[in-house]
Structure 1
Amino acid sequence: MRVSTNSMNSVLLAQTLNVQSDYAKALNQQSSELKSESLAGLSGQAGAVVSLQSDLKASENLATKAKKASSMVEIAYSSITSIAEIVSKAKVEITAAISGTVSDVSNLVRDADNWLVDVQTLLNVTMGGYSVFGGSGGQSKPVDMSLGGATGSAYYQGSGTDWALMVDGSTPLTYGVRADATAFQTTITALRSLSSMTSTPDTETLQNIFDTFDSALTQLGKLQETLSDQSDSLDSVIDAQTDFQLYAESALDSVRAVDVAEATANASQIEVILKASYAALSKVTNLSLTDYLR
């Protein structure tokens, strides 16, 4: 009878190679803590991973934009606070002039000129190269006090479109304020009225300017309320996206991650099998015809 070990060798070799492949996979899972570093290794769960990764990236992008918008709103709020302080100072000085405490209004005129420069600077503030008060796509310096007359918004050279954040692909969340807002127009009108005084004004004129400043202060306060509401809305968007990202990352881990202890034990078991397979393959490979005839 003719005895051949070729068929047995082929079977054992194929089995050993399969065990070796399983061992390599187990070691990789142990070191990477992932079931597979490629989508192909996740079988039917690959689609879910791709979808979650896409949603996670979109959420991170939205959160980043919302944080930038929130920063812009904070800068706008701070600038308006500074403008409101200017208005309050102007009211104090006008009150002194009306009461007769100050007879020389030249200082008031000079202060008004300086305040106009300050307001222009505050309204031309930028963040990351974008104008905070210039509207979406507006130029970096939307306010030029050399333009326009005593009233109106001719000083404004920015965009006519508000900043907006697309929250769900169809619903825009507008934020920020433009430098042509009524509150700023009123403030600038009052400052220009002070700046343009050439002689000692009568009480009625000073009172009218005072009233204009008073109205401006109220309007500036309402703008700050609007910005506060916008800040709350943006914070809600950021919080919602943060919660979603935690959920998505957890879901991805449940699909991709492995239990390290379990992976280590599995690798050890496969290593034992692999050693046994190598031993069996070595023994069969070294068999001779004499071994079969004993």
Structure 2
Amino acid sequence: MRVSTAGMNGQMISQAMKVQSNYAEALDRQSSGLKSSSLSGLAGQAGAAVSLQADIERSEQLATQAENAVSKVETAYSTVDTIVDDAEYIRSAIAGAIDGAEDSSTLATLQSTAAGYLEDIVGLLNTKFADSYLFSGGAAQTAPIDLSDTDYSATSATADTGYYQGGGNPATVMLDSDSSISYGVTADASAFEETIRALQTIVNASSLDTSTLQTAYDLLSSAVSGLGSIQEDLSSQANALNSVIDNQTEFQIYANEALESLTSVDVAEASAVVSQQEVLLQASFATLSSLKSVSLLDYI
């Protein structure tokens, strides 16, 4: 009959359970590679870990926004490139007409061709990327061009952007509360307006005399130059946005390394702790087994 060992048994069982708990935690750290499965287990480092995680998430969001903006800018650049090709083709056709290389029947064809290119260019400027219109600035849910708008005159001899339905401000990527990067170009830019006005000059002319053709030619020449400047601006925007992406990627690498140093365990050290706790647990079980075999008769 065991009498005097009851208290000691309870104490040893309690110690064995604690060692078993420590062993389980050590195994968990070894398998997960983390110091703790919860922030509370990081003690004084929990605040720093939370802050770093929040910074990483903000950085990832900013990089994603910049990547989306780059895709829009690249699509806008390609669209403008197509408009340049169209403008140069029509300008070449007008030059031929001015030089007298075209007969009267071909002048009528030129008018029809200009109407087709006008429709194409308006369609290009009303291009959507995902769910946004590329050339509407901040009003990305509205198609930027409507030639039927009552505020627009198709026969204006001076600059007229009454067709424009988009926003007055460009699209932006917010870097922080105080700074941002604007990107894109709006369809009321002078180069687009001149392209449209040149084509309207041809389409709506009662007769294509030399003066009318020269006016359209000069407008397209100015437009082509302006379109080139727009492409340069778009290229610069893409470079700036890519710099944001690169900077955020570098920050994420640094921040993730810092977060890992706060939350991750050294593999060799974790394995050593597991071995140590395993030895202690085996010793605790061995001690308990010895106590259970002790009887009062052993001391009589």
Cα deviation for residue 23 of structure 1 reads 0.4
- Identify the residue that residue 6 of structure 2 maps to in structure 1: 6
- Identify the residue that residue 264 of structure 2 maps to in structure 1: 257
Equivalent of 1:233, from 236, 240, 247?
A: 240
Q: Which SS does the other structure have where 1:174 is aligned? A: strand
- Identify the residue that residue 174 of structure 1 maps to in structure 2: 182
Range moving further from structure 2, 146-155 or 272-281:
146-155
Cα deviation for residue 202 of structure 1 reads 2.6
Equivalent of 1:156, from 164, 187, 203?
A: 164
Range moving further from structure 2, 55-64 or 264-273:
264-273
- Identify the residue that residue 33 of structure 1 maps to in structure 2: 33
Contact 2:33 2:264 in 1 (8 A): yes
Contact 1:126 1:140 in 2 (8 A): no
Note the residue ranges of structure 1 that are not aligned, 5 or more in a row: none
Range moving further from structure 2, 253-262 or 45-54:
253-262
Contact 2:131 2:141 in 1 (8 A): no
Equivalent of 2:229, from 200, 217, 222?
A: 222
Cα deviation for residue 242 of structure 1 reads 0.3
Please give the alpha-carbon distance, in whole angstroms, between the structure 2 residues aligned to 1:139 and 1:15: 68
Please give the alpha-carbon distance, in whole angstroms, between the structure 2 residues aligned to 1:139 and 1:33: 47
Note the residue ranges of structure 2 that are not aligned, 5 or more in a row: none
Contact 1:124 1:140 in 2 (8 A): no
Please give the alpha-carbon distance, in whole angstroms, between the structure 2 residues aligned to 1:13 and 1:231: 68
- Identify the residue that residue 282 of structure 1 maps to in structure 2: 289
Q: Which SS does the other structure have where 2:181 is aligned? A: strand
Please give the alpha-carbon distance, in whole angstroms, between the structure 2 residues aligned to 1:22 and 1:139: 59
Cα deviation for residue 187 of structure 1 reads 0.8
Cα deviation for residue 13 of structure 1 reads 1.7
- Identify the residue that residue 117 of structure 1 maps to in structure 2: 119
Alignment of 1:1-294 (within 5 A): 4-104=4-104, 105-147=107-149, 148-149=152-153, 150-151=155-156, 152-199=160-207, 201-291=208-298, 293=299
Please give the alpha-carbon distance, in whole angstroms, between the structure 2 residues aligned to 1:116 and 1:153: 15
Please give the alpha-carbon distance, in whole angstroms, between the structure 2 residues aligned to 1:157 and 1:205: 28
Please give the alpha-carbon distance, in whole angstroms, between the structure 2 residues aligned to 1:161 and 1:179: 12
Cα deviation for residue 41 of structure 1 reads 0.8
Range moving further from structure 2, 246-255 or 145-154:
145-154
Q: Which SS does the other structure have where 1:136 is aligned? A: coil
Contact 1:136 1:162 in 2 (8 A): yes
Contact 2:136 2:144 in 1 (8 A): yes
- 1:135-167 Cα deviation digits (max 9, x unpaired): 113434221123321341111111222111111
Please give the alpha-carbon distance, in whole angstroms, between the structure 2 residues aligned to 1:143 and 1:290: 104
Range moving further from structure 2, 147-156 or 31-40:
147-156
RMSD: 1.5
Range moving further from structure 2, 65-74 or 161-170:
161-170
Cα deviation for residue 286 of structure 1 reads 3.0
Cα deviation for residue 3 of structure 1 reads 6.7
Please give the alpha-carbon distance, in whole angstroms, between the structure 1 residues aligned to 2:18 and 2:26: 12
Q: Give the partner amino acid of 2:8.
A: M
- 1:152-211 Cα deviation digits (max 9, x unpaired): 111111122211111122112111111111111111110100111232x33232122111
Please give the alpha-carbon distance, in whole angstroms, between the structure 2 residues aligned to 1:264 and 1:128: 51
Range moving further from structure 2, 216-225 or 202-211:
202-211
Contact 2:198 2:215 in 1 (8 A): no
Q: Which SS does the other structure have where 1:197 is aligned? A: coil
* Structure 1 length-normalised TM: 0.95
Cα deviation for residue 260 of structure 1 reads 2.5
